[in-house]
Amino acid sequence: MKKVRENILILADLSSPLMKPRIMMLKDLPYDKYILHNANNIRLDEATLSDYTGFNVLQHPRIISLRMRYLYSFFYTLFLLLRLKPKLIVVHWASRLYQNLLLALWGKRVIVHTMGGDINKEEDCYGKKKFFTGILLKNARIITGKTYVMKEISMSSFPFLNQDKIKILSWGVEDRFFEKLDSSQKKSEKMRLLGKNYQNVFFSIRTFKRIHFQKEIIKVFLENYKNDNDTCLIVSLLAQEKKYYDECDREINFKENSNIIFVEINHKDMHKYLQISNAIISLKLFDGISQSIMEALCAEVFVIASDIKNHAMILSHQKNAYLINDFSELREAFLYCLMHKFKKIESPMLNANSQKQYYLQILKENFDV
């Protein structure tokens, strides 16, 4: 009798650029693999769908009513769990509300990959989101976080968790971020991307949101480089908070400052901007190890970042980074990154191949896949 192939069910937001390299780590497993795209009313285009060849991508219909969308997602998830009888259930992002009640019932087959917002009280981990996240995390067989600090935060927010089931998985960085340009190629890319061969390029890499202090970064930059024709600041506009952007524009008047360059940068092009940058700026009161910081280190670009506990795992002050505690230190950080050479520090967190092997080891030992 022919053996029936078993199934893997993956729940993820495929509109996120982080998902493809992480999900592709499962591509060679000998199972039928299904991905249920999040019920966020974002329909996937053909280019995105083609990225997941070898996977069966399932999408929810467009439903305007949030309540009806959650209801549909709940029963569709139940249908898939009963129909597919998955051997392994992979959940990217834990804060899924009512869907978590079902996933908790299948908890022995579930691995949850947490993000900072899932577990941090300063972000989205409060109220009913925290309640439903806690249900899933308590019942899941395995939980992963990118750093030991994230593990500590998980235990602080959900003290009932068994800490032994929380594994550290950083995912690593795609190969394209390790590619380097020679001086001629870098000049050509600056002309193509920025319209000018700026000698010094800073890159405020986080989304244009209040929590990332874009106003403060731009102000300090202009205090030092407003009339400097050789220096520019790239500012990412992807996923911006429009009200915050307008507030900053009224106060700063962006049109009067030609060396502030606003760009909506898709993740598929991120390595191109890192290749031409002297330093990135990534400020936040609380942060995990953001993927953009990991990518900058692979591109051997200085990181100007908040001096917080998580960053100490891969950032070393005045070697590969300049860590600050106050905006008044930003000026010195800019100068330091222009005057000193980046010192590469090897870290297994950045190696996607070693992270993949560890991931597959976790799945084999705990789910026999």
pLDDT tens-digit profile of 194-214? Answer: 999 999 999 999 999 998 999
pLDDT higher than 50, residue 1: no
Minimum mean pLDDT among 87-96, 135-144, 333-342: which range? 87-96
pLDDT higher than 50, residue 6: yes
**Chain segment 11-51, per-residue pLDDT in tens:** 999 988 889 999 999 999 999 999 999 878 888 989 899 99
366 — phi, psi (to 5°)?
Answer: -105, -20
The alpha carbon of 102 is separated from its chain's Cα centroid by a whole number of angstroms, namely 26
Instruction: Give the residue-averaged pLDDT of 233-238.
Output: 92
Can you give the C-alpha Rg of the chain in angstroms?
22
Contact 194, 232 (CB under 8 A): yes
Instruction: Give the residue-averaged pLDDT of 59-77.
Output: 92
DSSP β-ladder status, 88-92 and 110-113: parallel
pLDDT attached to residue 110: 98
Q: Roughly how many angstroms between the first and final C-alpha of the chain, as a whole number?
A: 22
pLDDT attached to residue 121: 74
Residue 299: CA count within 13 A, CB half-sphere: 26
Q: What is the overall mean pLDDT for the chain?
A: 92
**Chain segment 163-179, per-residue pLDDT in tens:** 999 999 999 999 999 99
Residue 171: Cβ within 10 Å count: 21
Residue 210: Cβ within 10 Å count: 12
pLDDT attached to residue 81: 98
**Chain segment 73-107, per-residue pLDDT in tens:** 999 999 999 999 999 999 998 878 889 999 999 99
Residue 261: Cβ within 10 Å count: 18
Count Cβ atoms within 10 A of the Cβ of residue 92 and give its class: 0-12 exposed, 13-18 middle, 19 or more buried.
buried
Residue with tokens 């692979």: 298
DSSP β-ladder status, 142-145 and 110-113: parallel
Q: Confidence band (pLDDT; 50, 70, 90) for 240?
A: confident
pLDDT attached to residue 10: 98
CA distance 242 to 247: 9
pLDDT attached to residue 97: 82
Closest by CA position to 150, among listed 348, 46, 292, 288: 288
- Strands across the sheet containing 166-168: 56-58, 32-37, 7-12, 88-92, 110-113, 142-145, 166-168
91: enclosing H helix or E strand: strand 88-92
Enter the tokens of residue 320.
């590969």
CA distance 90 to 113: 8
Return the amino acid letter for 294: M
pLDDT higher than 80, residue 2: no
Phi-psi region of 85 (alpha: psi -120 to 50; beta: other; left: phi over 0): left
Set out the domains of the chain in order of their start, with CATH numbers: 7-172+351-367 (3.40.50.2000), 175-349 (3.40.50.2000)
Closest by CA position to 40, among listed 116, 78, 97: 97
CA distances from 177 to 96, 145, 240, 278 (A): 31, 22, 24, 15
Q: Confidence band (pLDDT; 50, 70, 90) for 304?
A: very high
pLDDT higher than 50, residue 193: yes
Instruction: Give the residue-averaged pLDDT of 326-340.
Output: 95
**What would the DSSP string read from start to end of 253-300?**
-GGG-TTEEEE---GGGHHHHHHT-SEEEE--SS----HHHHHHHHTT
Residue of higher predicted confidence among 126 and 144:
144
pLDDT higher than 70, residue 4: no
pLDDT attached to residue 290: 86
CA distance 338 to 340: 6
pLDDT higher than 70, residue 322: yes
CA distance 78 to 237: 38
Closest by CA position to 267, among listed 16, 12, 42: 16
**Chain segment 108-136, per-residue pLDDT in tens:** 999 999 987 787 776 776 788 889 899 99
Instruction: Give the residue-averaged pLDDT of 267-274.
Output: 95
> How many Å is the maximal CA-CA distance in the chain?
77
The alpha carbon of 37 is separated from its chain's Cα centroid by a whole number of angstroms, namely 17
pLDDT attached to residue 115: 85
